[in-house]
Amino acid sequence: MHRFRSSLLSHHRCLHSLQNAGPLCSHLKSRSVIRFSGPDTIKFLQGLLSNDVRRFGEPPREENSPIPTPNVASVVVPPMYAALLTPQGRFLYDLFLYRPPRPEEKLDRTGSGPDNGSGGSVEILADVDNSISDELLATLKKYRLRSKVDIDNVAEDFSCWQRYGRDLSGKTPTVEEPEADSVGWGGGVDSAGKSASHSSDVGWQWFKDPRLDCLGFRGIFPSGTMPPLVESDKETDEENYLMWRLEKGIAEGSTEIPKGEAIPLEYNFAGLNAISFDKGCYVGQELIARTHHRGVIRKRLLPLKFLDNNGKEVEEKVTPGSEVINTASGKKLGSVTTALGFRGMGVLRLDDAFKDTLTLQGQEDIKVMAIRPDWWPAEWFQDQQHTAVA
């Protein structure tokens, strides 16, 4: 197994290696962690965020049970992806929400339990964009008013990690690597996993990424510890995780999703399980509901490739904000939102997005190829056909 350092590999070789690599892991230094706690936590988040946070207040379901392991919950609540919007329905911040297991849901050191404890106060951890974490905290505290909820920056205590790569889709950590069974206080094969579980009174573990199976697994772990199942030769630079997402057309964070401007449905948040359309009111809900029930999204975020006139990939020539045009009609289709190497993402009009006459304004020698993501629901392709007819 290689260590994938983009400083040592071209982006073209790097992407090829990623496509053929086994499970890789990146410490997401671009992400931070905040904590919500207190009796009004669920109610507070339910009125703010785009997803139905009430699930965190319900008893965990048995189908989410991992193999019984000391210091790991006997039943778990999967994480959730959600967004905080402006009152006008524009994107502000994205959050990966985790509900740590309560004491009565875990096995003790002897393998006994769970007990019948009361569980205490509700606590939610949120994986957020590090570049705007202070701003997000200030925004949340403005909304708090008299709600009995504490909001704390715990970035020094926790780190965010992602596991991804070939053959991870649709698998649980246990199926993927048998050593997953041993994470916890029990005798274990993976000493790093055992160390991580020893570091707190909460058992830390990987979860399927709540957006898509093809993104692998995500987790929050105590700072200074190596997550379970991560060997030194499987850790890779976070930039490679960005390359993995670029290939699939999945943006993350307020740097890649323009804060105060982006319309969540154009950034495919419905397909990323970030929006509940039947939860009731939340900040910005009116625009989301109206756009959704209208039925047609005319622009969407797409994976892009940048090529020269001979069809060869063009490295490091494109910057975010570059406008994409159709040379045949002269129409502006949208703009590039993220670029790295010969890959990028952009929000484009679907009626012309997949034509072979796309280029960049002012850089007509660079061709733009939009790619249909494999994970898109079939109805989105029907929307594209309806848009083209219109």
pLDDT tens-digit series, residues 127-184: 999 999 999 999 999 999 999 999 999 999 999 999 998 767 655 554 444 444 433 3
Q: CA–CA separation, 323 vs 345, rounded Å?
A: 12
Higher pLDDT, 153 or 199: 153
Q: CA–CA separation, 384 vs 390, rounded Å?
A: 10
In percent, the amount of the chain with pLDDT more than 70 equals 73
Give the mean pLDDT of 363-386. 85
pLDDT score, position 368 = 97
The torsion region of residue 167 among left (phi > 0), alpha (psi -120 to 50) and beta comes to: left
- Read off the pLDDT band of 60 (50, 70, 90): low
Contact call for residues 103 and 97 (beta carbons, < 8 A): no
Q: In what order do the strands lie in the sheet with 31-37?
A: 80-85, 91-98, 123-129, 31-37, 150-153
Least confident of 178-187, 260-269, 278-287, 289-298: 178-187
Average pLDDT, the chain: 82
Joined tokens for residue 355: 């034509």
pLDDT score, position 61 = 62
The long-range contacts involving 62-66, CB below 8 angstroms and separated by at least 24 positions, are 66/174, 66/205
pLDDT digits (tens, 9 = 90+) for 262-279: 999 999 999 999 999 999
- Read off the pLDDT band of 10 (50, 70, 90): very low
Give the mean pLDDT of 194-212. 65
Domains and CATH numbers, the chain: 16-112+120-168+191-264 (3.30.1360.120), 296-373+382-387 (2.40.30.110)
- Read off the pLDDT band of 200 (50, 70, 90): very low
- Read off the pLDDT band of 7 (50, 70, 90): very low
Give the mean pLDDT of 85-101. 95
Q: CA–CA separation, 195 vs 101, rounded Å?
A: 18
